[in-house]
Amino acid sequence: MTLTRNRTDGLTEHIISDEEVKNMVVSWILYGIEGIILTITNFPIVLVVLFFAKLRQQKEFVIMAALAFADGVAGFGYLVAAVGRLILVSKGTAFVLITRWQCFMTPWVLIWVWAQPAAVVMLVVISLDRMLAVSLPLRYYFFTARYAYYLVAVAYSVVIIPIIWWLINSYTTEPIAEVPSYCLVGHNFIPTDHPYFSKFLLIATAASVIMYIPVLLMLKITLAKNRVMENTVKYEKLKRATVTLGISSFCTFIFYIVPMIIVNLKLFENLNVFFLMLNLNAMVNIFIYIARFKEIRVGIKALVTCKFKVPWETVLYNINTNRVHPGLSPNTW
């Protein structure tokens, strides 16, 4: 248990050694750098889909952008937390005790409490979307981009429900100054709520990865049943998107689930490296997308060079599938 002392201004603070403060500051700076990387590797995906109507019309890009937005917001939260905590240290108030409600109201906690659950819910949405795409491919093709926007709206909204519950619990609990002002996620929750938050993140992420195993199996079956169409634009796009998001799902397992298990089981004395690893998947997604999707490569290049008139007809698939299924066109996916 950390010792406390009363300050001359009437506040109470934790007694922290200079060495501990130094270590904390270093870790916060590292998290701030990680936050910058998360932000600059995720928001370009959002901007590309936002700026170009051709990409906004494609369901998989809308859903990918929604995941990138949640990850980018979470990354921005790391940056805000680093700056905010360093300011508190400079003012000498980082270890002053505050109530859990006051901790909840800090900007970085408010950002994380929404962004982190939203990101893992989007992982589940991606797995569900791919499951639908490979199990009912022809019907899925006729879904418009509105379907993707509905999915994203539901995913973003559903996480608000537990947040309201946590806010009420934090606000109505007895206002005791018991957590430090630098506020980690967990300090804002009442003790019974935090385990639910942590388990939700882990279970939802694990579920998204497990769900992707039958998705890949169903993709193989679907392509085997439709060999005559496997080289058409629709089936090529189905295969490309599903395999790409499968690679991302595998990275989620390696860079999030494995280190999270290590952290929860406390398998090592120093867990800082594993805490930093938890965000690697959100960082590598952009490189996976750039490598696998020419549309993303071209869109990002257009944004960087400020050339917004992109000849998409030379980028997007141009195979006419009407000869096989007259009701399908390259713009229905």
173-209 residue pLDDT tens: 989 999 999 999 899 999 999 999 989 999 999 999 9
Residue 322 has pLDDT above 60, yes or no: no
**Per-residue confidence at 225, pLDDT binned at 50, 70, 90?**
confident
The answer to the question of residue 333 being in a domain is no
Mean of pLDDT over the chain: 88
Using 50, 70 and 90 to split pLDDT, how confident is the model at 222? confident
Q: Which of 122, 29, 25 is nearest to 73 (CA)?
A: 122
Closest CA to 238 of 109, 130, 317: 130
Please tell me the distance from the alpha carbon of residue 129 to that of residue 127, in angstroms, as a whole number.
5
On whether residue 304 sits in a domain, the answer given is: yes
Within a domain: 322 = no
% of residues, the chain, pLDDT over 90: 67
Distance CA 323, CA 333 (A): 17
DSSP state of 180: E
In angstroms, the CA 102 to CA 83 distance is 18
Residue 158 has what pLDDT? 95
Sorting pLDDT into bands at 50, 70 and 90, what band is 239? confident
- Residue 133 placed within a domain: yes
Show the domain range for 197.
4-314
Q: Using one digit for the tens of pLDDT, what is the confidence trace for 55-64?
A: 999 999 999 9
Q: Which of 45, 44, 41, 46 is nearest to 78 (CA)?
A: 41
Q: Is residue 114 part of a domain?
A: yes
Instruction: Identify the weakest region by mean pLDDT among 47-51, 252-256, 261-265.
Output: 261-265
Contacts 24+ apart (CB under 8 A), 269-275: 272/27, 272/30
What does the alpha-carbon distance between residue 123 and residue 62 come to, in Å, rounded to a whole number?
13
User: What's the CATH code of the domain at 180?
Assistant: 1.20.1070.10
pTM of the model as a whole: 0.89
Output 314 or 237, whichever has higher pLDDT.
237
pLDDT value at position 329? 35
- Residue 209 domain-assigned (yes or no): yes
pLDDT category of residue 269 using cuts at 50, 70 and 90: confident
Given the DSSP bridges, would you call strands 12-14 and 97-98 parallel, antiparallel or unpaired?
A: unpaired
For residue 320, tell me if it sits in a domain.
no
Between CA 106 and CA 100 the distance in angstroms is 10
Higher-scoring residue by pLDDT: 107, 8: 107
Question: Does residue 34 lie in a domain region?
Answer: yes
- Structural domain total, the chain: 1
Contact 58/48 with Cβ under 8 angstroms? no
For residue 309, name the pLDDT band (cuts at 50, 70, 90): confident
Helix ranges, 52-159 (H): 53-56, 59-91, 100-104, 107-135, 137-141, 145-158
Of residues 289, 320, 311, 291, the one with CA closest to residue 49:
289
State the DSSP string of 12-47: EEE---HHHHHHHHHHHHHHHHHHHHHHHHHHHHHH
Query: Helix (H, G, I), strand (E, B), or coil: what is residue 210?
Result: helix
On whether the CB atoms of residues 55 and 49 are closer than 8 A, the answer is: yes
Q: Can you give the pLDDT at residue 324?
A: 42
pLDDT for res 249? 93
Over 90: is that where the pLDDT of 333 sits? no
Q: Which amino acid is at 40?
A: I
